[in-house]
Structure 1
Amino acid sequence: MKRFLRVVSAAALPALVLGACGSGSGTDTGSTEAGSTGGAASAAASVVNADNCADPEGVKAPITGTLKVGWSAPTSGPLADAVGNVIEGMRARFAVENAKGGIGGVRLEVVVKDDAFNPERAKTNVGELIQKEGVHVLETFGSGQVDAIADDQNDACVPLLFAQASVPAYRDIAKFPWTTEYLPSADVEMGVVVEGLKKKYPNGAKIALAANQTESGQGIANGLKKAIEGTNFTIAAEAPLTDPRTAASSLKSSGAEILVNAGVTTDCLALTQAIGRVGWKPDTVIQPSNCADGATLYAPAGDAADGQQILRWLKDPANAAFADDAAVKEYLQQSAANGADSPTNSYTVNGWAIADLMVDDFTRAAKLEGGLSRLTIMQAARTQDYQPPMFIDGISFTMSPTQAYGVLAFQPFTWKAADKAFAVGGDVIDISSQYDK
Structure 2
Amino acid sequence: MTSTLLKQIAASALLLVLSSAAAQAQKTYDSGASDTAIKVGQTVPLSGPASAYAVIGKTQAAYMKMINDQGGVNGRKVELIQYDDAYSPPKTVEQTRRLVESDEVLLTFQIIGTAPNVAVQKYLNARKIPQLFAATGAARFTDPKNFPWTMGFNPSYLVEGRIYAQYLLKNHPNAKIGVLYQNDDLGKDYLAGLKAGLGDKAKMIVAETSYEITEPTIDSQILRLKDAGADVLFSATTPKQAAQAIKKVAEIGWKPLHIIDINASSLSAVLKPAGLDNSKGVVSVGYVKDAADPEWKDDPGMKRYLAFMAKYYPDGDKDSNLNVYGYITAQLLVQVLKQCGDDLTRDNVMRQAASLKNVELDLTLPGISVTTTPTDYRVNKQFQMVQFDGQRWQKLGDIVTDEAKE
Coarse TM-score class (shorter-chain normalised): 0.7 to 0.9
Match of 1:252 in 2: 226
* 8 A Cα contact 1:309 1:415, kept in partner: yes
Q: Offset at 1:213?
A: 1.5
* CA distances 1:114-136 after superposition (whole Å, capped 9, x unpaired): 11111111111111101111111
Counterpart in the other structure of 1:76 = 47
Match of 2:356 in 1: 384
- Gaps of at least 5 residues in structure 2 are 1-27
Alpha-carbon deviations, 1:29-49, whole Å to 9, x = none?
Answer: xxxxxxxxxxxxxxxxxxxxx
Distance 1:390 1:302 in 2: 24
Aligned residue for 1:429, secondary structure, equals strand
> CA deviation digits over 1:67-90, x for unaligned, max 9?
12211121112322x322111221
For residue 9 of structure 1, what is the aligned residue in structure 2?
A: none
TM-score, normalising length from structure 1? 0.80
Structure 2 CA distance, aligned partners of 1:134 and 1:253? Answer: 53
Query: 1:248·1:278 contact (CA, 8 Å) conserved in 2?
Result: no
CA gap of 1:302–1:338, structure 2 versus 1, over 3 A, is closer
Query: Residues 346, 147 of structure 1: CA spacing in aligned structure 2 closer, same or farther, 3 A cutoff?
Result: same
Higher helix share goes to which structure?
2
Q: Over aligned residue pairs, what C-alpha RMSD do you find?
A: 2.0
Cα distance, 1:326 vs structure 2? 1.8
Shift of 1:100: 2.4
Aligned to 1:176: 147
Q: Does the 8 Å contact 1:92/1:340 carry over to 2?
A: no
Identity within the alignment, %: 25
One-letter amino acid of the structure 2 residue matched with residue 252 of structure 1: K
Equivalent residue runs for 1:19-34 within 5 Å: none
Q: Residues 9-88 of structure 1: matches in 2 within 5 Å?
A: 59=30, 63-80=34-51, 82-88=52-58
> Structure 1 unaligned runs (5+)?
1-56
Q: Distance in 2 between matches of 1:340 and 1:181?
A: 29
Any runs of at least 4 consecutive aligned residues in structure 1 with deviations exceeding 3 A, and if so which? 57-63
Give the drift of 1:169. Answer: 1.6
User: What are the residue-to-residue correspondences of 1:42-191 with 2, within 5 Å?
Assistant: 59=30, 63-80=34-51, 82-139=52-109, 140-191=111-162
Secondary structure at the aligned position of 2:362 is classed as coil
Comparing 157-166 with 216-225, greater Cα deviation is found at 216-225
Amino acid at match of 2:351: Q
CA 1:235–1:310 in 2, change beyond 3 Å: closer, same or farther? same
Q: Which amino acid aligns with 1:332?
A: L
8 Å CA contact retained: 1:245, 1:278: no
Q: Which residue of 2 aligns with 1:393?
A: 366
User: Over residues 277-314 of structure 1, what are the superposed CA-to-partner deviations in whole Å (9 max), with x where a residue is unaligned?
Assistant: 221110x2110001122133113424321100110111
Which one of 253, 274, 277 corresponds to residue 248 of structure 2? 274
| Cα distance per residue 1:150-205 (max 9 Å; x no partner) | 1111111111111111110222112111111011111111111112222202x442
User: Which residue among 294, 314, 317 is the counterpart of 2:291?
Assistant: 317
Task: State the match for 1:194 in structure 2.
Answer: 165
Aligned to 1:291: 264
Distance 2:295 2:188 in 1: 33
DSSP 3-state at the match of 1:406:
coil
Whole-angstrom distance in 1 between the partners of 2:34 and 2:153: 24
Q: TM-score scaled to structure 2, two decimals?
A: 0.86
**Superposition pairs of residues 229-240 of structure 1, within 5 angstroms:** 229-231=199-201, 234-240=204-210
Aligned residue type for 1:383: S
User: Does the 8 A contact of 1:63 with 1:373 survive in 2?
Assistant: no
Letter of the aligned partner of 1:293 in structure 2?
S
CA distance in 1, matches of 2:227, 2:67: 54
> Take 1:218 and 1:199, find their aligned partners in 2: how far apart are those partners?
23
Deviations along 1:380-421, one digit per CA (max 9) or x if unpaired, are 01112322111111112221111111111111221112xx22
Task: Classify the secondary structure of the residue corresponding to 1:72.
Answer: strand
Per-residue displacement from partner, 1:236-256 (whole Å, max 9, x unpaired)? 011224442111111112222
Instruction: Tell me the distance in 2 between the aligned counterparts of 1:331 and 1:305.
Output: 26
For residues 357 and 399 of structure 1, the distance between their equivalents in structure 2, rounded to whole angstroms, comes to 12
The one-letter code sitting in structure 2 at the alignment partner of 1:255 is G
Deviations 1:5-45 (CA, angstroms, capped at 9, x unpaired): xxxxxxxxxxxxxxxxxxxxxxxxxxxxxxxxxxxxxxxxx
Q: Determine the structure 1 residue equivalent to 2:339.
A: 364
Moved more, 295-304 or 133-142: 295-304
Counterpart for residue 9 of structure 2: none
